[in-house]
Amino acid sequence: MSESNPSRVIDRLLRQDEEGLKMYLVCRLGGAEELPRLYGELRGALGRGGSADLAHAPSLKSLAYATARRLALATAPELAKEAFASLEWMRTPERESPAYGELLDRIRLGLDSPTAEILELRYARALTEDEIGYVIGRRPSEVNSAIASGTQWVLELARSFGSVDPDVELLVRDSFRPLTSADSSGYVPGRAQALRLAPGAIVGGRFEIQSSLETGSVTSSYLAGDMNMPGQSVILRVFHDPTSAVSARMGLVKKLTLVDSVDHPSVEHTLAHGWHQDRLWYATPWYRGQPLRELVERRGLSPLEAVEIFGPIAR
């Protein structure tokens, strides 16, 4: 960085590669919460660097990604697959479909972590093999080998989904486009643990949020469309509290399974369940009609109506 104004060089680089660097950091961190702090530290670290740092790097861009990687590893040394899987990803409306979303999920989670990072840097962040080798500390020959094997794996996977002529660069680029803003993920101000899912949001690669129904003390309820069954709507409930520990997740799913095992006409059954931003969600059938609460508040219930409604539940 021998220019008379090094900060100008850094600013130009960060303007050009800001989105890619932020996405790369989010993928390494497993979330966007720490991104503002880390990105500020990245800018500061690059600003404090000098020509000696750049002399060892193939390019200023590779130096920026290497610095970002170092900062991310200091914050999140080992990123669990569960944390990576729970990231919110940008949608690609022009290509989005349940099958395409499933393919992207398979690419993200099916590749081993080192190969996934190398393919991300090559195709999604547009680094050369030499630059990637510098960023991750691997020889160019190792990088080339990983790119070749990873590319072949993605090709075969895409073909198994029915793609005749897969575009690996496009697939990998779409696979590693996480949301880089906590606001985009839908946090409700003043209620850090509750999520607000906007209409059009996709949950579980299958359910598209249509409208918000209510927010309770434990879950938020939404009316959602089932993209696997066009025209079919469900009730989607999302727990407020995030859960990342494997044992805690197993406990929640076990409770859900126990309730689902009850054979009673008044107990609704689960159609599907999964994890969204570390929160358990589950889908149940949507029954058209009016909520009992609204009926009671509007005119109350006669004794006969109360028996007709609550009698079957008490059996």
Alpha-carbon span 130 to 117, nearest angstrom? 15
Q: Which helix (H) or strand (E) holds 212?
A: strand 207-215
Distance CA 195, CA 198 (A): 10
Question: How much of the chain, in percent, has pLDDT values that exceed 90?
Answer: 31
pLDDT above 90 for 142: yes
Chain centre to alpha carbon of residue 225: 19
∠ CA 71-76-77, rounded to 5° = 90
pLDDT band, residue 222 (cuts 50/70/90): very high
Residue 81, both tokens: 């697959």
- pLDDT at position 49, please? 66
Task: Give the pLDDT band (50/70/90) at residue 183.
Answer: very low
What is the tens place of the pLDDT at every residue in 259-268? 767 666 667 7
Closest to 238 (Cα-Cα) out of 86, 104, 79: 86
* pLDDT tens-place string over residues 159-170: 998 887 888 988
Cβ–Cβ < 8 Å for 38, 72:
yes
Residue 8 binned pLDDT confidence (cut-offs 50, 70, 90): low
Tokens 């409930």, residue? 237
d(CA 202, CA 119) in angstroms, rounded, equals: 25
Domain ranges of the chain: 6-175, 186-285
Which sign, positive or negative, has the C-alpha torsion 161, 229, 170, 201? Answer: negative
Kindly state which CATH superfamily the domain 186-285 is placed in.
Phosphorylase Kinase; domain 1 (3.30.200.20)
Whether the Cβ atoms of residue 89 and residue 67 lie closer than 8 Å to each other: no
Contact 195, 240 (CB under 8 A): yes
pLDDT, tens digit, 9 for 90 and up, residues 13-48: 677 788 889 999 999 988 888 899 999 899 888 877
Query: Please, what is the Cα angle at 89 between 117 and 62, to 5 degrees?
Result: 35
Task: Tell me: pLDDT of 191 over 50.
Answer: no
